[in-house]
């Protein structure tokens, strides 16, 4: 479960990214955060990934009070989750397999298990046959699936994906979302920001609709609380 209490984010230029946001997000679901550009979707995703800190308020993810984490605890938390953001490209001088293996190297996983773990993860996204390819030889859909594989190779319980289907055609977009749905079926918490409302039809998926840095509407198990 994710708990957000009276969270405000003010950027250095004075702009408010979030305004006294309070809500509870259920775990082990595919959760959509939607809304127009500038609504606060990416800001909320970055908070959950601990890429930025709130100006005010408190965020708790599972048993982690994110405000209390410092130094190595921050690095440990970031390694424990899977993140997919627009500014996290693949390394073109490494193969697909090497890109997916990077989080394992950072986490100092045992090397004898690494090849099998990478191969199994590429199976999940349907790219086992691309293990030794260069990213420059992949389609946009394949590149995004490699990013997903890189995010889940360490078997995190929380995955955060910021606009993972942006600029994709509808068919490719559906394929990406099907991967996230399968991950949620494995009892992972998957938080996806999107402006594409065609993905919101499944009534099993919690939805947070944002506008102007606040929750405009919340559905399917998301509890919106009044700001204090």
pLDDT band at 96 (very low <50, low <70, confident <90, very high): very high
Q: How far apart are CA 149 and CA 128, in angstroms?
A: 11
Burial code (b: 16+ CB inside 10 Å, e: under 16) for 81-105 equals: bbbbbeeeebeeeebbbbbbbebbe
The residue written with tokens 């394992």 in the block is 104
Q: What is the pLDDT of residue 1?
A: 85
Tokens encoding 143: 């590149």
Domain range enclosing 208: 2-224
DSSP string, 145-162: HHHHHHHHTT--SEEEEE
Q: What is the pLDDT of residues 103-118, one digit of tens each?
A: 998 877 555 588 899 9
- The two beta strands, 214-219 and 207-211, are antiparallel
Q: What is the pLDDT of residue 196?
A: 84
Q: What is the pLDDT of residues 184-211, one digit of tens each?
A: 999 999 999 998 888 887 778 889 899 9
Q: What is the pLDDT of residue 193?
A: 94
- The domain that holds 13 is classified in CATH as 3.40.50.300
Rounded to the nearest integer, the mean pLDDT of the chain is 89
Q: What is the pLDDT of residues 121-180, one digit of tens each?
A: 999 999 999 999 999 999 988 999 999 999 999 999 999 999 998 888 888 888 889 999
Tokens encoding 7: 């969270």
pLDDT band at 75 (very low <50, low <70, confident <90, very high): confident
What is the rounded average pLDDT of the residues 65-94?
A: 91
Strand partners for 160: 83, 191
Q: Could you give the percent of the chain with pLDDT greater than 90?
A: 59
pLDDT at 220 over 60: no
Q: What is the pLDDT of residue 95?
A: 98
How many structural domains is the chain composed of?
1
* DSSP state at residue 170: H
Q: What is the pLDDT of residue 109?
A: 56
pLDDT at 40 over 90: yes
């Amino acid at each position: 479960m994710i708990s957000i209490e009276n969270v405000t984010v003010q950027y250095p230029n004075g702009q408010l990214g979030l305004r006294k946001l309070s809500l509870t997000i259920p775990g082990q679901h595919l959760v959509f955060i939607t809304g127009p550009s500038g609504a606060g979707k990416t800001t909320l995703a970055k908070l959950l990934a601990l890429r930025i800190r709130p100006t005010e308020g408190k965020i708790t993810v599972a048993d982690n009070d994110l405000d209390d984490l410092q130094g190595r605890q921050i690095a440990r938390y970031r390694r424990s989750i899977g993140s997919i953001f627009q500014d996290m490209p693949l390394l073109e001088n490494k193969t697909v397999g090497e890109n997916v293996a990077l989080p394992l190297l950072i986490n100092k996983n045992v090397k004898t298990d690494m090849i099998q773990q990478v191969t199994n993860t590429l199976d999940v996204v349907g790219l086992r046959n691309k293990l030794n390819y260069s990213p420059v030889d992949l389609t946009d859909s394949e590149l995004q699936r490699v990013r997903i594989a890189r995010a889940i190779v360490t078997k995190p319980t929380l995955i955060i994906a910021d606009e993972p289907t942006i600029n994709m055609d509808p068919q490719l977009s559906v394929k990406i979302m099907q991967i996230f749905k399968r991950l949620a079926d494995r009892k992972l918490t998957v938080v996806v920001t999107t402006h594409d409302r065609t993905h919101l039809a499944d009534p099993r998926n919690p939805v947070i609709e944002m506008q102007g840095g606040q929750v405009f509407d919340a559905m399917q198990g998301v509890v919106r609380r009044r700001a204090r």
